[in-house]
Amino acid sequence: MADRYLRFTGTAPGRFLTRSLGLPQPAELHRWSPEHPALKGEVLHLTAGKPAPDPAAPPAAVVLDATHVRDVEGLADVHAALHPVVRSVAASGRIVVLGAPPDPADHHQAAAQQALEGFTRSLGKEIGRGRTVNLVRLTDRAAAESTLRFLLSPKSAYVSGQVIEVAEDAGPDDVDWERPLAGRTALVTGAARGIGAAVAETLARDGARVVVLDVPQAEADARRLAERLGGEALALDITAADAGEQIAAALPDGLDVLVHNAGITRDRRLVNMPAERWSSVLEVNLASVLRTTDALLSSGTLGPGGRIVATASIAGLAGNAGQTNYGAGKAGVVGLVRSLAPRALAEHGVTVNAVAPGFIETKMTAAVPLLIREAGRRMNSLAQGGLPVDVAETTAWLAHPASGAVNGQVVRVCGQSLLGA
């Protein structure tokens, strides 16, 4: 469903009226397209505590190196670096702050680096004009290339206020940044429509051979999509006890990317929720994810260089009335990622991450009552809903062969929702 308010605020009368009434003024976001694959303008590189260059034109993005900040005095250098330029950043521009992991042996450094998190999230909520602000905590600068490419591109249009940790990783020797998944096989569950279909399309764009998995009732849609993408369809009930074994049998040559996207809702307040509504949601959204992940890792179907990307939700991070079952399942996905990620990398060479969508414009959200839908759209720093492609682009970054240093992360794709942390 079209966002008529967003269109109205793009007109001269709309801008005047919303400004006069103090209403949200969302800016149309610049997303990736073949015609516009990059931000328009230069990237301004700053270092806290050093003189800033004078940009010849408004920068499309600003990268501020604050990795060396170790005390409150250093935080003054962060302010001094960004204060003169923040207003000049172009619409739909980017600010990325580079920080360091807090040092448990140095509480002054830990305090200063943690302060950067509050700083970036606060700046993201005030900067406006479709601009985003994110913090990247670095251990290995070279390993951060895929993350910085993503955050400094139109692909990250709906990702803001996030803290992303990048560890050490040797990474592949040669990276095809245009088609990084060429020669790799990706399986997406619940992929016949909606966000899953967008993920499948984006991974195929990046070169992957995509297996479109969905329930037998959606087999026709899955096959149409798979044929269009040059992939294949797999009709399978992901809640089957042997779903993992069936997937492994269907992929004798192995799997490189596993995207857990399948999910359902059965909303009702707990006092009115029968056991079947509870168990069906937990079975699809969490139990099947645990079982299939265990099966595909133990069988070796997912091996070195593999990527697992699971779909969580801000409902699992912040909670949502009427969704105790859904919130529990999606919070469980977060727990799975944080626990499994270090072991999966150490034992199998596989990274495990999650995306946590906020309000995304789909057929499901189009059916939400008008006032609730409008609240969902406006209650984030970008004052608009996201699109399925926003979740897909974030998934593709986490699935990238050069993203091996990103592990155990839960990245919200929510326009910096005002709900939750």
Same domain, 193 and 159: no
The residues, any chain, with a CB within 8 Å of residue 12's CB and separated by 6 or more, are none
What is the structure's pLDDT at 420? 67
Model confidence pLDDT, tens digit, residues 96-107: 999 999 999 999
Same domain, 200 and 342: yes
Q: 14 in a domain, yes or no?
A: no
Q: Which residues pair with 356 in a beta bridge?
A: 412
Query: If you average pLDDT over every residue of the chain, what do you get?
Result: 95
- φ/ψ of 78, rounded to 5, equals -65, -45
Q: What does the block give as tokens for 41? A: 């303008």
Q: 128 in a domain, yes or no?
A: yes
DSSP letters spanning 109-144: HHHHHHHHHHHHHHHHHH--TT-EEEEEEES-SGGG
CB 305 within 8 A of CB 253: no
Model confidence pLDDT, tens digit, residues 216-231: 999 999 999 999 999 9
Quote the CA–CA distance of 337 and 253 in Å, as a whole number: 25
Q: 380 in a domain, yes or no?
A: yes
What is the structure's pLDDT at 53? 83
Residue where a domain terminates, one of 113, 135, 166: 166
Q: Which of 111, 118, 113 is nearest to 133 (CA)?
A: 118
Same domain, 268 and 123: no
Same domain, 273 and 137: no
- φ/ψ of 333, rounded to 5, equals -60, -40
Same domain, 328 and 288: yes
Q: 173 in a domain, yes or no?
A: no
Same domain, 139 and 38: yes
CB 395 within 8 A of CB 356: no
Q: 6 in a domain, yes or no?
A: no
Same domain, 39 and 155: yes
- Helix axis angle for 288-298 and 243-250, nearest 10°, is 40
Same domain, 191 and 139: no
Least reliable range by pLDDT among 108-112, 202-206, 215-219, 366-370: 366-370
Check whether 421 has a pLDDT greater than 70.
no
Same domain, 247 and 347: yes
Q: What's the sign of the alpha-carbon dihedral 376, 380, 386, 392?
A: negative
Burial of 68 (0-12, 13-18, 19+ CB in 10 A): middle
Catalytic residue numbers? Answer: 326
Residue 2: pLDDT band with limits 50, 70, 90: confident
Read off the CATH number of the domain in which 233 is found. Answer: 3.40.50.720
Other CB atoms within 10 A of residue 72 CB: 11
Mean pLDDT computed over 280-306? 98
Scan for tokens 């920080």, then name that residue: 99
Check whether 364 has a pLDDT greater than 80.
no
Same domain, 319 and 377: yes
Check whether 314 has a pLDDT greater than 80.
yes
Quote the CA–CA distance of 284 and 256 in Å, as a whole number: 22
* 99 three-state secondary structure: strand
Model confidence pLDDT, tens digit, residues 409-418: 999 999 999 8
Check whether 419 has a pLDDT greater than 80.
no
Scan for tokens 């999910």, then name that residue: 263
Residue ranges making up the domain that contains 334 = 185-413
CB 318 within 8 A of CB 362: no
Model confidence pLDDT, tens digit, residues 23-61: 888 999 999 999 999 999 999 999 999 998 888 789 999
Same domain, 74 and 148: yes
Residue 341: pLDDT band with limits 50, 70, 90: very high
CA atoms within 13 A on the CB side of 79: 9
Burial of 305 (0-12, 13-18, 19+ CB in 10 A): middle
Least reliable range by pLDDT among 151-165, 169-183, 208-222: 169-183
Q: Which residues pair with 257 in a beta bridge?
A: 186, 307
Model confidence pLDDT, tens digit, residues 368-394: 777 788 888 999 999 999 999 999 999
Rg (CA), the chain: 21
Element at 234 (helix H, strand E): strand 232-235
Q: Which range, 7-21, 191-205, 374-388, is most confident?
A: 191-205
CB 213 within 8 A of CB 244: no
Q: What distances in angstroms separate CA 14 from CA 102, 175, 379, one per listed residue?
A: 45, 45, 19
What is the structure's pLDDT at 108? 98
Same domain, 105 and 200: no
Quote the CA–CA distance of 234 and 94 in Å, as a whole number: 39
Residue where a domain terminates, one of 135, 166, 197: 166
State how beta strands 94-99 and 163-166 pair.
Answer: unpaired
Mean pLDDT computed over 285-311? 98
Residue where a domain terminates, one of 166, 197, 228: 166
Burial of 79 (0-12, 13-18, 19+ CB in 10 A): exposed
Count of structural domains within the chain: 2
Q: 266 in a domain, yes or no?
A: yes
Mean pLDDT computed over 123-137? 97
Strand order in the sheet with 410-413: 232-235, 209-214, 185-189, 255-260, 302-311, 351-357, 410-413
365 or 421: whose pLDDT is higher?
365
* 56 three-state secondary structure: coil
Model confidence pLDDT, tens digit, residues 255-268: 999 999 999 999 99
Strands (E) located in 5-153 = 43-47, 61-65, 94-99, 132-138
CA atoms within 13 A on the CB side of 168: 1
Q: 329 in a domain, yes or no?
A: yes
What is the structure's pLDDT at 169? 87
Q: 309 in a domain, yes or no?
A: yes
What is the structure's pLDDT at 219? 97
What is the structure's pLDDT at 1? 66
